[in-house]
């Protein structure tokens, strides 16, 4: 199963991706997580990406697309994958389409988690993330079992630098201008599915499973 997951910042992509990846046994590939790992390791890719991420802007397409293509050619992607946060521009979507076509492959579903802007700020400012395994929590909506510790791996959870109010606003604007056009793109391809992301976390997951079926 090959799935694209998209939606505004804070829609719950990362939260749902963890569950989808477990349920359907496919790797969860988050471009945001890959960039953050490179930033923490201070790699050349990380140094480049940080310039954009800290401002809430998109990392340039050519950097992002090459990184994803490399990742998709790894062994664990042979039976499918879940892309979280990629594509994020129409150019990225076209590049993914061409990449798949060259390999005689197709996407199964492009899943939009829809959440109106007024929900986003509270979600982002209350978010805590695990720097080791990428798990995402919320101080009110989804707190870790032990305060400040990741349920999965026990690391101390932290606040993402780009979750400040100002940067969140910029990320929302970037989403509207550059990522929202993907709705039309995937509608035309006949792949678009929409989930109401304002429901509780487990309800969103149930809606997603209804769409993806019991493969
Ligand atoms: P990325 O890491 O992908 O950030 P994003 O798209 O802004 O999305 P988030 O990770 O902030 O939100 P999410 O939807 O995963 O929500 P989450 O599940 O954590 O990208 C970061 C940056 O990297 C970008 O700004 C860009 O610079 C760069 N980048 C990445 N990909 C790129 C690309 N393809 N091209 C160019 N640049 C790229 O949930 C949020 C919070 O809400 C959590 O606290 C969670 O617990 C809570 N929550 C989740 N669901 C619910 C619910 N149903 N009810 C209540 N609370 C909920
Ligand atoms: Mg995320
Ligand atoms: Zn963890």
> Which domains does the chain show, CATH number per domain?
2-26+79-116+169-212 (3.40.50.300)
**Structure confidence by residue, pLDDT tens digits, 55-79:** 999 999 999 999 999 999 999 999 9
| Residue partners of 124: CB distance under 8 A and separation at least 6 | 9, 10, 163, 168
Query: Is the Cβ atom of 59 under 6 angstroms away from ligand 1?
Result: yes
Return the exposure string of 106-135: e unless at least 16 CB atoms fall within 10 Å of the residue's CB, then b: ebebbbbbebeeeebbebbebbbbbbeebb
Are 168 and 158 in contact by the 8 Å Cβ rule? The answer is no
133 assigned binding-site residue: yes
Give distance in angstroms: CA of 11 to centre of ligand 2.
8
| Per-residue model confidence (pLDDT) at position 215 | 66
Q: Collapsing DSSP states into helix, strand and coil, what is residue 192?
A: strand
What pLDDT sits at residue 214?
Answer: 79
End-to-end CA distance of the chain: 8
What's the pLDDT at 1?
95
Kindly report the protein residue whose alpha carbon is nearest to atom 53 of ligand 1: 201
Contact 7, 89 (CB under 8 A): no
């Amino acid at each position: 199963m090959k799935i694209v997951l998209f939606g505004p910042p804070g829609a719950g992509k990362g939260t749902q991706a963890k569950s989808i990846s477990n349920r359907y046994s496919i790797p969860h590939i988050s471009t945001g997580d890959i960039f953050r790992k490179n930033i923490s390791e201070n790699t050349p890719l990380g140094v480049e990406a940080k310039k954009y991420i800290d401002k809430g802007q998109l990392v340039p397409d050519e950097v992002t697309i090459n990184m994803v293509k490399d990742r998709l050619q790894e062994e664990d992607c042979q039976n499918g994958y879940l892309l979280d946060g990629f594509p994020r521009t129409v150019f990225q979507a076209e590049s993914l389409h061409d990449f798949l076509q060259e390999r005689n492959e197709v996407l199964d579903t492009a899943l939009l988690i829809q959440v109106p802007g007024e929900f986003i700020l509270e979600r982002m400012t209350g978010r805590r993330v695990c720097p080791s395994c990428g798990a995402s929590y919320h101080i009110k909506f989804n707190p870790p079992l032990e305060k400040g510790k990741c349920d999965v791996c026990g690391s101390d959870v932290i606040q993402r630098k780009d979750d400040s109010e100002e940067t969140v606003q910029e990320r929302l604007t970037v989403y509207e201008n550059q990522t929202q056009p993907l709705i039309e793109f995937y509608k035309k391809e006949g792949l678009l599915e929409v989930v109401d992301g304002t429901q509780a976390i487990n309800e969103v997951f149930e809606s997603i499973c209804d769409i993806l079926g019991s493969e």
